[in-house]
Amino acid sequence: MTVLFFYEPGCPYCAALESTSSFQQLQNKVPVQWIVSATSPLTDQYGVKTDPTLILLNNGAEVGRWVDPTDATAILAQINGD
């Protein structure tokens, strides 16, 4: 599993998410690919419209999406099978 983290530098919501303990746990659990939304072709490929957005991939297929999350609790629960 891999997580795509779409963000914008200077975005207060992105910074708030990054500073949560659940986001730190996420980074310790699975690879997290940081993607600057404004400059990446992946933004259009995945249809990302809002920052921050977390997309969970399993073998390259999207299995979960969290738009404008305040923490990473829900994505951790899905990864852990809770």
Reading the block at residue 31, the tokens are 């690879």
Residue given tokens 């990054």 in the structure block: 18
What string of DSSP letters covers 6-68? EE-TT-HHHHHHHTSHHHHHHHHHS-EEEEEGGG-HHHHHTT--SSSEEEEEETTEEEEEEES
Q: Domain residue spans in the chain?
A: 2-80
State the fold for domain 2-80.
Answer: Glutaredoxin (3.40.30)
Taking the complete model, does pTM exceed 0.75, yes or no?
yes
Rounded-to-integer distance, Cα 62 and Cα 60, Å: 7
Report residue 81's pLDDT band, with 50, 70 and 90 as the boundaries: confident
Query: Over 80: is that where the pLDDT of 82 sits?
Result: no
Are the C-beta atoms of 79 and 29 separated by less than 8 Å?
yes
pLDDT digits (tens, 9 = 90+) for 1-13: 999 999 999 999 9
pLDDT digits (tens, 9 = 90+) for 10-57: 999 999 999 999 999 999 999 999 999 999 999 999 999 999 999 999
